[in-house]
Amino acid sequence: MSGTFEINLRINGQEAVLPTTAEKSLLRFLREHNYWDVKCGCEEGDCGSCAVLLDGRAVKSCITLAAACNGREIWTNRGLGRTDELTKKLQAAFVESGAIQCGFCTCGMIIAAKHYLEQGGKADRSQIKEAISGNLCRCTGYVKIVDAVYGVALEMGTGGI
């Protein structure tokens, strides 16, 4: 096994110095340190269940190396839900719209939706569909998820947030 070393990073707003190894993915690193709202669906960059924000950009943590995150900032859905108004809105909208069934994709979906809206994404269902098409959901058929994001986007567009 390769050697263990420490990395400095901010996770969900808190400074952390945590051990990792060169080959460890950010997904495994986060889950080992109890950030288990970051889900492992495929570990090959396909399903998006493991999405987190890395310096404000949505990334799939299973194909991101933990070691590459030294000095960087990570937010997971659970952390964002405690402090970030937009995420709170999205979370409430997902519950209201019926965008949740088994819930395994949900945290990754919220990250994708937040990223879309923060990058200036509009209340346009077709663009929202594209924006979340890197995240798989086997339960819902996506329509209610699109509805949830659309609702929040509309509210943002009218200065609601």
Partner 1 sequence: MSEQETVYKIIGKATPRIDGPAKVTGKMQYTSDIMLPGMLYGMVLRSPHAHAEIISIDTAEAEALGAVCLTYADINPIVYNERSVSIPAATYRDRTVLPAKARHFGEPIAAVAAASEELAYQALQLLKVEYKVLPAVFTPQEAMADGAPQLYEQIWLGEEKVAVKNNIGVIRNIEEGDVEAGFAAADRIFEHTFELGRVYHDQLETKGAVCAPEADGSLTVWCTAQSIHANRQLLGRVLGLPLSKINVKKLPLGGAFGSSIQVNTVTPICACLALKAGRPVKLISSREEDFYSHQKYPSVFEVKLGVAGEGRFTAAQVKCLVDFGAHQVQPLPYMGCVAGWFASLYRYGPLRFLGTAVYTNKVPCCAMQGYGNPQINFAIESMVDIICEEMGWDSVEFRLKNHRGVGDEFWGQGPTIRSIIKSCGVPESLTKGGEIFAWKERRPHTEKSGRYRKGIGVARGFHTSGTGGPKEGEVIDYSSCMVKINEDGSVDLISALMDHGGGTWDAMAKIVSQTLQVPMRMIGLSPTDTRNTGYDVCTHATRGVYCGGAAVLYVTNKVKEKLLEYAGRILFEHPAALEIICDEELGQGVIFAKNYHQKSITIGEVAKIAQINSWGTIAYTDSYRQRNCPPCFTTHFLEVEVDTLTGEITVPKALLYGDCGTVINPVLIDGQLIGSFNRGLGYTVYESLDVDQKTGELTNKGLLVDYKTPTAAEMPAAENVLVHWTDTYEPSGPFGAKGIGEAALASVQAALANAVYNAIGIRFAKLPITPEVVLAALRAIDN
Q: Which residues bind partner 1 (CB under 8 A)?
A: 1, 21, 28, 34, 36-37, 39-47, 49, 76-78, 81, 91-92, 94-98, 100-107, 110, 125-126, 128-130, 132-147, 150
Tell me whether residue 5 or residue 71 sits nearer to partner 1 (CB atom). Answer: 5
CB of 72 to partner 1, least distance (A): 20
CB of 11 to partner 1, least distance (A): 13
Tell me whether residue 11 or residue 145 sits nearer to partner 1 (CB atom). Answer: 145
Tell me whether residue 69 or residue 140 sits nearer to partner 1 (CB atom). Answer: 140
CB of 66 to partner 1, least distance (A): 13
- Alpha carbon distance 79, 77 (integer Å): 5
- Alpha carbon distance 73, 52 (integer Å): 10
CA distances from 30 to 40, 139, 149 (A): 11, 25, 26
- Alpha carbon distance 153, 33 (integer Å): 33
Tell me whether residue 7 or residue 142 sits nearer to partner 1 (CB atom). Answer: 142
CB of 22 to partner 1, least distance (A): 11
Neighbours of 2 (CB within 10 A): 8
- Helices (H) and strands (E) counted in the chain, each on its own, are 6, 5
Gap between the terminal Cα atoms of the chain = 48
